[in-house]
Amino acid sequence: MKGIFIIADGLGGRPSDIDGKTCLEAADTPYLDALATRGSSGLVDPIGPGVRPGSDTAHLSLMGYDPYEVYTGRGVFECLGIGMDVKAGDICFRANFGSVETSDDGLRLLDRRAGRINEGQKDLEAALRGLSIPGTEIDFLASTQHRGALRIRGEGLSRFISETDPHVIGELLHPSAPTADVPGAQKTADLVNQITQQSYELLVEHPLNQKRISEGKLPANVLLLRGAADCPDLPSIESIYGVRGAVIAGGALYRGVAEACGMTYIPVEGATGGLDTDIVAKAEAVLNALKTYDYVFCHLKGTDNAGHDQDAEAKKAFIERMDTELFKTLIERVDWDSTHLAFTGDHCTPIDYGDHTVDPVPVLFVGPNIPRDSGTTIGIRVAGQGGLGRFSGRVLPMLLGYCNWAPKFGS
Amino acid sequence: MKGIFIIADGLGGRPSDIDGKTCLEAADTPYLDALATRGSSGLVDPIGPGVRPGSDTAHLSLMGYDPYEVYTGRGVFECLGIGMDVKAGDICFRANFGSVETSDDGLRLLDRRAGRINEGQKDLEAALRGLSIPGTEIDFLASTQHRGALRIRGEGLSRFISETDPHVIGELLHPSAPTADVPGAQKTADLVNQITQQSYELLVEHPLNQKRISEGKLPANVLLLRGAADCPDLPSIESIYGVRGAVIAGGALYRGVAEACGMTYIPVEGATGGLDTDIVAKAEAVLNALKTYDYVFCHLKGTDNAGHDQDAEAKKAFIERMDTELFKTLIERVDWDSTHLAFTGDHCTPIDYGDHTVDPVPVLFVGPNIPRDSGTTIGIRVAGQGGLGRFSGRVLPMLLGYCNWAPKFGS
């Protein structure tokens, strides 16, 4: 048996998306409809009814973990997702390149994304290897645009500290401070403040920034650290189910969550984590990974990007591209006698609102052990009356269970 | 956006109610049906599947709190609902006027409700201002009929004590005693026993009781204390969602729960918490409150009273009166482009059983962000196949989420 778990980020929508239909309902998806006709649909509350999910917490919940128990913050998934190793005691951050200017009172924010810097970040990353504080090991890696991740390794650190990003242009960077009276919080806050200052000193005179300024661009002259997190204590999927999984994802966060669950990352050229991602390449990678792994988790981000951009046509078009470039391929080339597929989103990102909402998300299961319901699509209305009813999170455990890999609880 | 949350207490029923239909199914409700046609229905387990709810625990769960975590007892909601302030450390009770006679062994119960006393309770309340124990502050307020609430304020008290009401006519009042080996329980039990004895001494010769006895009525000559509770630690709805709510309810308990959640109480003349309540006045109050508050919670109790009275026709008639006096008004006068409504019950009170049961309850959501399902009523059979599926509690968080007020968990 093989398992395929596909998450289209922010898949869910609302009647306000397009003429009274969600983008998923409005999209022309003959291949997805064919799968729906063979399978059974339902509604999933990614975390629970009436809980508005983040992407990180929703993914943890869909993988079968209780985010209220295991979630420590986003930073750790960003670090894992960028390829760093993370071990107990490390403190991890999302790290943006930002633009600041000096003032008598400290560093003043000019831009939270360094003018959406889009080249030369690896040069800045190299300069930041100069970050140095005795007794600690500091690692920074740049990823896409202004984004990166930073890990502090050292003794007696804590994630209970505030972020430095004031989120408002023109304001001074906030000094990091403890958010709880716990050991290590003051020490870690002090480290963050030193790293912030050092990053400015290492970057302010950097040739790339001199060039950016001469071109009228904002300099990338500081690191803004947020999402402090320590290593969550997750038993791996393999330790629970005895099967090995792979992750195919363009976005670092999703790779990071999957690696934290014990999946193996498979890089795919052209997987951008955006609307322009190469879905054909990802589909091929899924089929290829199934030869080696028991199950594959494939994440597509474009639906969410279009939702945040409030672009209904782009979201609908991305769903239609998934239909012909992924689901058609799977229909034609997967051995459906010995494969189960689950398809859902990690939350809704309705066009009208442009951000995550609490509404439940359609979910589809297909495979030999799934009783076929009467649905022939998986729009929200059909899924709401589908054969799987409504449940909270745990889509991967259900998928692995249909593949007969679940351990028995009790006897 | 505005939110309206309507709970008809004990709304749910069973096929044994009326000729194979629940009272809700049997009732003629053209306006509710019109709302159902516009919205989506489902089933809610007020606390969880197979859990038989009390009204207090069910309301907490529907408001989004975990009653297993926060519920300490009913007394605190009775005290809040009667208008007392309650702070950490206080111990609160439901307090009935009862009828007792002296015997060699103690006070012997004649009636648990003082012959359903219906006048003069405020005179008795005044007499009970004489309750006095050094080092404590004791407050009692009478509400409807034999009912009232009592609060003890003092150092080192505990709710882990037994009640005095033997629940059997002719038995001696039970001395209150600790129910757990925790600090303050013995002290609080002693206080309750002293208050019981003092209440008898303050009331036994009261002119009102002399008059009652001369008229052949049972005297209201003791306070029976039960439902000991301390102040639950509930984060307010406003602190979580950033929006302000109002509560419209005739019954003290429901006002109390809503006030514990941080809602503001709006008194409505004619709201009795009974079958005779002025639903027209409550509907007007809802519309009026929506001008000032982000959301309004409106509670109607008549459905439950009729269920406890095992009077199917009364329950059906109350539902029909809600239809024409509340739902018709809402349909005609609410701006449905910018309002979400949720309607459900806090449990079933089937006619045949005459008390709360475990069965799930129909729930209806209407508003611009709700995908319309195929249902045109919300009877149990239709709701069981409705577009919202089945979920546990948390109706208010879902409603506030559809209004786009929910905070994100994670990022």
Angle subtended at Cα A322 by Cα A317 and Cα A327, rounded to the nearest 5 degrees:
145
Backbone angles phi, psi at A287, to 5 degrees: -60, -40
d(CA B199, CA B193): 10
Instruction: With beta carbons less than 8 A apart as the criterion, state whether A173 and A106 touch.
Output: yes
Longest dimension (CA), chain B: 71
Window 364-403 of B, Cβ < 8 Å to A: 368-374, 385-398, 400-402
Mean pLDDT to the nearest integer, B66-88: 94
Rounded to whole angstroms, how far apart are CA atoms B57 and A118?
54
Q: Please work out, in degrees rounded to the nearest 5, the angle formed at the alpha carbon of residue A65 by the alpha carbons of A63 and A67.
A: 115
Segments in A71-184 forming alpha helices (H): 75-81, 121-127
Q: What is the DSSP letter of B235?
A: P
Three-class HEC string of B161-206? ECCCCCCCCCCECCCCCECCCCCCHHHHHHHHHHHHHHHHHHHCCC
Which tokens is B185 given?
A: 């329980």
Residue B359's pLDDT band (cuts 50, 70, 90): very high
The DSSP element (H or E) to which B390 belongs, if any, is strand B390-392
Q: Which CATH architecture has domain A2-71+234-402?
A: 3-Layer(aba) Sandwich (3.40)
**The pLDDT value given to residue B220:** 97
Domain assignments of chain A as residue spans, ordered by start: 2-71+234-402, 80-230
Instruction: Give contacts of B409 with chain A, Cβ < 8 Å.
Output: 47, 51-54, 57, 67
**Residue at B66: amino acid letter:** D
Whole-angstrom distance, CA of residue B342 vs CA of residue B113: 36
Closest CA to B260 of B244, B237, B282: B237
- How remote is the C-alpha of B260 from its chain's centroid? 12
Residue B284 C-beta-side C-alpha neighbours within 13 Å: 9
Helix (H, G, I), strand (E, B) or coil at B152: strand
Cα of A347 vs its chain's centroid, Å: 12
For CA atoms B312, B314, B320, B326, give the dihedral sign. Answer: negative
Distances in whole angstroms, Cα of residue B404 to Cα of each of B60, B306, B340? 21, 37, 11
Q: Which DSSP symbol is given to A41?
A: E
Parallel, antiparallel, or unpaired for β A264-265 and A245-248?
A: parallel
Rounded CA separation A31/A195 (Å): 51
Do B393 and B70 meet the contact criterion of CB atoms below 8 Å apart? no
Q: Which of residues 40-59 of B touch A (CB under 8 A)?
A: 40, 42
Q: Residue B374: its chain A contacts at CB < 8 A?
A: 381, 385
Burial class (CB in 10 A: 0-12, 13-18, 19+), B181: exposed
CB contact under 8 A, B371 and A22: yes
pLDDT computed for residue B94 by the predictor: 94
The tokens 């998923």 sit on which residue?
A24
CB atoms within 10 A of CB A75: 29
Q: Are strands B40-45 and B361-366 parallel, antiparallel or unpaired?
A: antiparallel
So what's the pLDDT on residue A233? Answer: 85
**What pLDDT sits at residue A337?**
97
The CATH-assigned architecture of domain B2-71+235-402 is 3-Layer(aba) Sandwich (3.40)
- In B21-117 the beta strands, taken as DSSP E runs, fall at 40-45, 91-103, 106-111
Separation CA B335–CA B294 (nearest Å) = 13
DSSP string, A270-332: T--SSTT--HHHHHHHHHHHHTTSSEEEEEE-HHHHHHHTT-HHHHHHHHHHHIIIIIHHHHH
Which of chain B's residues have a Cβ under 8 Å away from the Cβ of A375?
none
CB contact under 8 A, A384 and B402: no
Gap between the Cα atoms of B206 and A290, Å rounded: 85
**Strand A339-344 relative to strand A2-8, pairing:** parallel
Contacts of A43 in chain B (CB under 8 A): 388-389
Report chain B's mean pLDDT, rounded to a whole number. Answer: 96
Are A360 and B402 inside 8 Å of each other by CB?
no
Nearest residue of A to residue B390 by CA position?
A: A390
- State residue B108's pLDDT score: 97
Q: Which residues of chain A have pLDDT under 70?
A: none
Q: CA-CA distances (angstroms) from residue A182 to A163, A177, A179, B239, B306?
A: 17, 12, 9, 24, 55
A10 within 8 A of A354, measured Cβ to Cβ: no
ipTM of the complex: 0.91
Which segments within B310-355 are labelled E, that is strand?
339-344
Positions of E strands within B36-135 = 40-45, 91-103, 106-111
Closest to A331 in 3D by CA, of A38, A100, A45, A132: A38
Output helix, strand, coil percentages for chain B, rounded to the nearest 5. 35, 25, 45
Judged by a CB distance cut-off of 8 A, whether residue B321 touches chain A is: no
Phi–psi pair at B121, nearest 5 degrees? -65, -30
Contact status, residue B52 vs residue B358, Cβ threshold 8 Å = yes
Residue B238 predicted with pLDDT over 90: yes
Inter-chain contact A50–B401, Cβ cutoff 8 Å?
A: yes
Half-sphere exposure of B321 (CA within 13 A, CB side): 20
| Amino acid in position A89 | G
Question: Is pLDDT at B186 greater than 90 in this prediction?
Answer: yes
The size of the A-B interface in CB pairs under 8 A is 105
Distance CA B200, CA A398 (A): 62
- A49 chain-B contacts, CB cut-off 8 A: 391-394, 397-398
In this prediction, residue A144 carries a pLDDT of 84
Average pLDDT rounded to a whole number, residues B149-162: 97
Mean pLDDT for the stretch of residues B198-217: 97
Closest Cβ–Cβ partner in A54, A227, A385 for B409? A54
| C-alpha separations of A35 from A6, A327, A332, A370 in Å | 13, 8, 11, 12
Indicate the pLDDT class of residue B144, thresholds 50, 70 and 90: confident
Please state at what angle helix B252-260 crosses helix B55-62, rounded to 10 degrees: 40
Instruction: Decide: residue A169, CB within 10 A, 0-12 exposed, 13-18 middle, 19+ buried.
Output: exposed
* Whole-angstrom distance, CA of residue A15 vs CA of residue A74: 31
**pLDDT for the residue B409:** 96
